[in-house]
Structure 1
Amino acid sequence: MDKYMYLVFSKTDTWLSRAIYFLGNLQYPHTSISFDDSFNQLYSFGRTNPNNPLSGGFVVESFYDGMFKKCSNSRCAVYRIKITEEQYNNLLKEVERFKKEQNKFRYNFLGLFGVILHRPIIRKHHYFCSQFVSEVMINSKVYDTTKIPALISTSDLYDMEDKELVYEGYIHDYKDFLYQRTVNN
């Protein structure tokens, strides 16, 4: 049976998302990974409390709760990447490592400036979304790059080859898209 991982790029109406969108000229400032297309569980770094913009760290997101529910007009692009069984298992182990110790991780706000200035700002247990996603993908041998994760932006991940567009549109319309795809297959 084929194994897949999903890269989910999104843009919410938060001040940080708007700032990254503007400063980085990025269509989708946020990225997450998932292991199934229900998107009940996506993994990334972002707000740990949807109502507090300064509470950031490792998050288990959902299209149907948290920030995506709070920002109901969020847009996204979903890509599927075919991976080997070994890569899949390595990705699961990498994410599990973050889940087990999620209380020690914080959002790397300063690291965002490092990306803009092309100078990595590496702080122990601090990540921004594309830094986290790229690190787990590099460690799992899914993503091959010469850049270090502290300098990888969502646009770098967006430019990856060998990914297949599954969906692009409003997050609140994704459930209907998934249902229609299931009915039509």
Structure 2
Amino acid sequence: MTGNTYIYILLSDTGTLFTRSIKVYTKAPYNHASISFAEDLSDMYSFGRLQPRNPLSGGFVKEDVWTGTYSKYPKTTCIIYRLEVTEREVKKMKRILEVFIKNKEKFSYNLLGVLGVSVEVPIESRKAYFCSQFVWEILQRSGIRLWDKIPALVTPDDFRKSDRLEPIYEGLLLDYPPRKK
């Protein structure tokens, strides 16, 4: 790979009742995945809570560590990975992302899909995603391959186990050095 262009994958755990419930099943340390185009996480997207205190109100979100859902959960733990990509791949990802941004009200959270993952049955909808499904969809549709798994079965832990992702930080999200205010 030439150049040093990176995207960032954030895996996180807010410690909420909803995420603790997921952890009981997954046994994984992190249960939410986001994609960022900036090392300081200022340009970060996922499928998650539309309202910080309501885990059932979900959809496409531009995440913000300081004012969004994460701001309500200061003890959020995370691991941040970087993935070296080409400028062309970034352009493809951003074109795909534009469709989500322009049509965000048409998308919903794929809660059934989360249940499907637990029984290894993909439940897909063109307008509903869960977090790791969305991140993998963006990468896969941009030509990036980390594994041969369909998006509707990808978990945050799959990213953690990928040898192509380079961990750059693990700890409290609010202590992440480029994020310090």
TM range (shorter): over 0.9
2:96 match: 94
Amino acid at match of 2:28: L
Alignment of 1:36-185 (within 5 A): 36-174=38-176, 177-178=177-178
Displacement of 1:15 in angstroms is 2.2
Q: What is the count of residue pairs matched by the alignment?
A: 178
Shift of the 121–72 alpha-carbon distance from structure 1 to 2, 3 Å rule, reads: same
TM-score (norm 2): 0.93
Structure 1, unmatched stretches of 5+, are: 181-185
1:4 match: 6
Contact 1:40–1:64 at 8 Å: present in 2 too? no
> Which shifted more, 20-29 or 71-80?
20-29
1:13 match: 15
Instruction: Give the secondary structure class of the aligned counterpart of 2:171.
Output: strand
Structure 2, unmatched stretches of 5+, are: none
Cα shift readout 1:66-101 (whole Å, capped 9, x = no counterpart)? 111100100010011110111111111111111110
1:183 match: none
Aligned sequence identity (%): 39
Cα shift readout 1:23-70 (whole Å, capped 9, x = no counterpart)? 111111000000111112310000011122221000100121211110
Displacement of 1:102 in angstroms is 0.4
> Which shifted more, 15-24 or 73-82?
15-24
Contact 2:47–2:109 at 8 Å: present in 1 too? yes
| Greater fraction of residues in helix | 1
Task: Report the RMSD for the aligned CA atoms in angstroms.
Answer: 1.5
Cα shift readout 1:131-152 (whole Å, capped 9, x = no counterpart)? 0000110001122432110011
Distance in structure 2 (CA, Å) of the matches to 1:120 and 1:60: 25
TM-score (norm 1): 0.91
